[in-house]
Amino acid sequence: MSPLQIYIYLSLILGICAYTASGFFPVLTTLASLCILLYFIKNTGKQAVVLILLFIFGFYYGALKHDPSPNLQETKPPRETRFSGTIAGMPIKTEYGYLEPFSLSTPPLKGDVFINLPKPFGPGTFIEGNARVTLKAGHLNPGMHSGNTSLFLTPLGAVALSRNNSPGFIPDRLRWMLYSRFNEAFSGETAGFLSALIIGHRQYSDRLYRDYARLGLAHLMSISGTHFGLFTILVFSFIRFSARALPYRWLIRLTGRISIDELATLLTLPLIVFYLLLSGVRIPALRSFIMINIFLFGLLIGRKGQWLYSILFALTVILLMDPSSAFTPSFQLSFAAVLSIGLTLEFAEKRLPLNRAGPFTGTLVKILLVTIGASAGTMPLVLYYFHRLPALGIVTNMVFTPLICFLILPAGIIGSLFYLLTGVFPLGGLFALLISKINHVVSFISSLEMISFTLPAFSAAVLMLIYATAGCMIMRKRKASLICFSVLAFSVIYTLPAYLAPGPRVVFLDVGQGDAAVVETSDGKAVVIDTGHTGREVISYLRYRGVGKIDALVLSHAGRDHAGGLWNILDEFRVGEIWDNGLLIYQPAVEDTVVHRQLKAGDILKTGSAGFLVLHPRKGYYNTFGDDENNRSLVLRYTDRGISILFTGDIEADGELSLLRLPKYLGSRVLKVSHHGSYTSSKRGFLASVNPRYAIISAGRFNPYGHPHRGTLRNLKGIQLHRTDREGAIEVSSYNSGEISISSYADHKLKETGGLNLMVELENIKRLFLLW
């Protein structure tokens, strides 16, 4: 492949990416673009005119594909509305019924829309009626990817149903038929595993996903480039082997015009396209399909020297379809995996005597090389996004990935095709037994100690410099490698204070309409106070910080918005102790695995210079008005090196009156406002006794309760107020000076410059190198 061909693709790709980057780094993007264009001119002469035009076309194409229309958050739809639209995907089972993706016709709103239904209906079902409308915003926390704002419809009364028979719903109807069959014929986890593997629908349990993730096998739980790639290799190899086993005369006739490899490619393609249709032709699956198959077919039919050409072609096609995909984790992981596999196989062909090995040995060696190459190439991205390093990742991938992709996947696809044609899924019992055994082995191995390690986050700049340094070393650019490595070392040193700062540090996480906070004491202990609805935000943040053990998990009361994530956290982390108000009932009991402390007013728990003083509920407390469970919330005062924070759970006015008996102990510099800012709490007498300088409200954006209440906000006037519904996660820290510092995660996110704004751009550059 000539350098000019590479430059043609690169100029278009870089032009598309430059548009998105220019929104945050206009000056830096302009300078980088000029350097790229000068490089083209220097290396291609007059042909650089074509490259410059392609770069400009890519830039304006990115601008053309950008959708500036208002999102759901800005449109503010009514709370109740007349609606009509079509179910557009597979259902997700919830405790209240089924949640299904929905394509709205009226009102004409853009964004992610879902409908709550008591029973599932197939894709293409047209529904109209009246519905209650709720918005749910993505959560802004470090360590997790903020989702878009979604709209949820809950029908009120009867709805009218009909069927949309347009051809566009054929793939989803096939998926619906298989989804229904899987759930009828197989147990929950087996059905969930098959749905994820065959039709790309995630309905497996959080526990099963965590077990696979601990072994570095999370990519097997959704349709990815690995599935397409190994399935393509298997089908291609089987057809080629079968063709060569034909009688010689047949083989001569068959290959008179095309080679065996070309014939195998033609026969493989329909099966791969069928698998793509079963995936629902969703953008992530389509990206994986294009990326891996263009690359593999180039290798399989003998164009091994042009694998880079295949990757760049696939990359261009994907970016023309969706320019924003370049900044998604799935795209980056697919690209890094394919590029690493190509480099590994090219290195092996030059340095290892693979031609001398037998077919079986050669295949095993190639599987090993593909696994090592993909694992090594994606490791920085995996650590950056997921903060987990599986100790046996390469070994488990060598065992389970071929087992699932060479046995379970083809059997599942063939069985699905047979079922769609005949209504019978062959060997279902044997299939279920095999999947159950694989899941059991994965769960057993993942339960072993030291099977995976949690590593602290590193900055985006460090990630980019790791790949830049590796690229320069592969191309044998010594000076460039040295420069990149030096900048990388500087970036690591620059971010070290974020790891070495002694604390204390308290982060109030954005868990929507709920409460969760993580306390890191000055002596390095981790205390979690409430979990939110699911605990996922707590789990992601602790991974981001590199925390492997929770020393104490505090539950203020049994409300699901405070304690709903208990079991998920216990499944994910070693927990030393659980503290509560003595009124919680655990099913199953927790005493067998952790120390359980039932606290009451007057208890003091200390670690180093940090202390937790329990202020409520006192022995003999009797609630006279308001919600009894809320008023019996555990109230703690945390002090550590100049910091003092009052955690109030959901206490209401009656609980606050009880606390006024302890004015000597209430004073705190930071108040976690009770009950999400409800009008039932934060009365003026209580606020005067606490006398906080800062107040934190944990509430959900678009919550249906109107929290925080305007009366509460009036009472808090004069206190510096921070809200998770507006600022995302909020950090309260204090260092050696004893001064309190408060920052929000929303301020750490990259900001659009809105044109040429050098100060905002410099702040964005700084954010690339810093951790929050």
Are the beta carbons of 633 and 579 closer than 8 angstroms?
A: no
The residues, any chain, with a CB within 8 Å of residue 450's CB and separated by 6 or more, are 391
pLDDT at residue 110 greater than cutoff 90: no
pLDDT of residue 447: 87
Q: Are 597 and 591 in contact (CB under 8 A)?
A: no
pLDDT at 462: 94
Task: Please write the tens of the pLDDT for every residue from 520-545.
Answer: 999 999 999 999 999 999 999 999 99
Task: List C-alpha distances in Å: 70 to 73, 74, 110, 111.
Answer: 8, 6, 8, 9
The answer to whether residues 154 and 132 touch, using CB atoms and an 8 Å cutoff, is yes
DSSP assignment letter at 368: H
Q: Cβ–Cβ contacts within 10 Å for residue 635, how many? A: 28
Per the DSSP assignment, residues forming a β-bridge with 508 are 517, 730
Q: What global pTM score does this model have?
A: 0.89
With tokens 């100690």, the residue in question is: 449
pLDDT above 70 coverage of the chain, percent: 92
- Asked if residues 535 and 569 have their Cβ atoms less than 8 Å apart, the reply is yes
The type of residue at 76 is K
Question: What token pair was written down for 153?
Answer: 């419809």
pLDDT at site 637: 97
Which of 540, 537, 546 is closest to 516 using CA atoms? 537
Task: Using alpha carbons, list the distances in angstroms from residue 114 to 83, 118, 150, 473.
Answer: 12, 13, 8, 48
SS3 call for 377? helix
Please give the pLDDT value at position 24: 94
**Token pair for residue 288?**
């994986």
Instruction: Provide the mean pLDDT of the chain.
Output: 87
- For residues 109 and 140, the answer to whether their CB atoms sit within 8 Å is no
- Does the structure show a pLDDT above 70 at 304? no
What is the architecture, at CATH level 2, of domain 72-165?
Beta Barrel (2.40)
Residue 358 in tokens: 């037998």
Question: Which of 638, 596, 603 is closest to 617 using CA atoms?
Answer: 603
592-626: per-residue pLDDT in tens?
889 999 999 999 999 989 999 999 999 989 999 99
Kindly tell me if the per-residue pLDDT of 68 is higher than 70: no
With a cut of 80, say whether residue 140 has pLDDT above it.
yes
> Cis peptide leading into 704, omega within 30 of 0?
no
pLDDT value of position 310: 74
Q: How far is CA 461 from CA 86, 467, 489, in A?
A: 43, 10, 11
With 90 as the cut, is the pLDDT of residue 296 above it? no
Rounded to 5°, the CA angle 311-312-314 comes to 65
Specify the pLDDT at position 300.
57
Which of the four pLDDT bands, split at 50, 70 and 90, describes residue 301? low
Residue 555: name the closest of 668, 655, 662, 636 by CA.
636
- Please give the Cα distance from 689 to 661 (Å, whole number): 10
Residue 303 has pLDDT above 60, yes or no: no
What is the residue extent of each domain of the chain? 3-65, 72-165, 175-454, 460-500, 505-738
The DSSP secondary structure of 523-584, one letter per residue, reads TS-EEEEEETTTSHHHHHHHHHHT--EEEEEE-SSS-HHHHTTHHHHHHHSEEEEEEE-S--
Write the burial class of residue 225 (CB in 10 Å: 0-12 exposed, 13-18 middle, 19+ buried): buried
Q: What is the pLDDT of residues 191-248, one digit of tens each?
A: 888 898 898 888 767 788 888 988 988 888 877 777 777 788 788 878 878 877 778 7
Compute the average pLDDT of residues 735-744: 82
Give the pLDDT confidence of 464-493 residue by residue, as tens digits: 999 999 999 988 889 999 999 999 998 888
DSSP bridge partners of 529: 517, 554
**Nearest CA-CA partner of 374 in 333, 326, 426, 416:** 333
Please state at what angle helix 283-300 crosses helix 329-351, rounded to 10 degrees. 10
Q: Check if the beta carbon of residue 115 is closer than 8 Å to that of residue 87.
A: yes
pLDDT of residue 690: 96
Give the H or E element holding residue 667. none
Task: Go through 364-381 and write b for each residue having 16 or more CB atoms within 10 A of its CB, e for each that does not.
Answer: eebbebbbbbbbbbbbbb
> 153 near 98, Cβ under 8 Å?
no
**CA–CA separation, 454 and 386 (whole Å):** 9
Q: State the pLDDT at residue 680.
A: 95
pLDDT-derived band at 65, boundaries 50, 70, 90: confident
pLDDT at 335: 83
Contact assessment for residue 528 and residue 549, using Cβ atoms and an 8 Å cutoff: no
CB 372 within 8 A of CB 344: yes
CB 610, CB 587: distance < 8 Å: no
Residue 260 has pLDDT above 90, yes or no: no
Specify the pLDDT at position 742: 95
Residue 745 structure tokens? 């995660």
pLDDT one-digit tens code per residue, 587-596: 888 888 899 9
| pLDDT band for position 71 (cuts 50, 70, 90) | low
Task: Give the count of beta carbons closer than 10 Å to the beta carbon of residue 60.
Answer: 12
SS (H, E, C) 609-631: CEEEEEEECCCCCCCCCCCHHHH
3 state DSSP class of 167: helix
Please state, in angstroms and rounded to a whole number, the distance separating the CA atoms of residues 759 and 768: 15
Give the SS3 label for residue 34.
helix
Cβ 573 vs Cβ 550: under 8 Å: yes
Of residues 647, 648, 635, 567, the one with CA closest to residue 603: 635
- CB neighbours (10 Å) of residue 743? 16
Q: What is the CATH number of domain 505-738?
A: 3.60.15.10
Q: What is the pLDDT of residue 61?
A: 93
Mean pLDDT of 160-164: 79
Cβ neighbours for 45, distance < 8 A, ≥ 6 positions apart: none
Cis peptide leading into residue 107 (ω within 30°): yes
- Tokens 């919550």 belong to which residue? 703
673: DSSP letter:
-
Which segment of 67-81, 217-231, 653-667 scores lowest on mean pLDDT?
67-81
How far is the C-alpha of 169 from the C-alpha of 174, rounded, in Å?
9
* CA torsion, ordered 704, 708, 712, 718, to nearest 10 deg: -160
β-pair type (694-697, 720-723): parallel
Name the residue among 99, 346, 60, 53 with its Cα closest to residue 201: 99
What separation, in Å, do the N-terminal and C-terminal C-alpha atoms of the chain show? Answer: 44
**pLDDT digit string, tens, across residues 316-339:** 888 888 888 888 888 888 888 888
DSSP assignment letter at 406: I
Interhelix angle 260-278/283-300, nearest 10 degrees? 170
Per-residue pLDDT, 363: 66
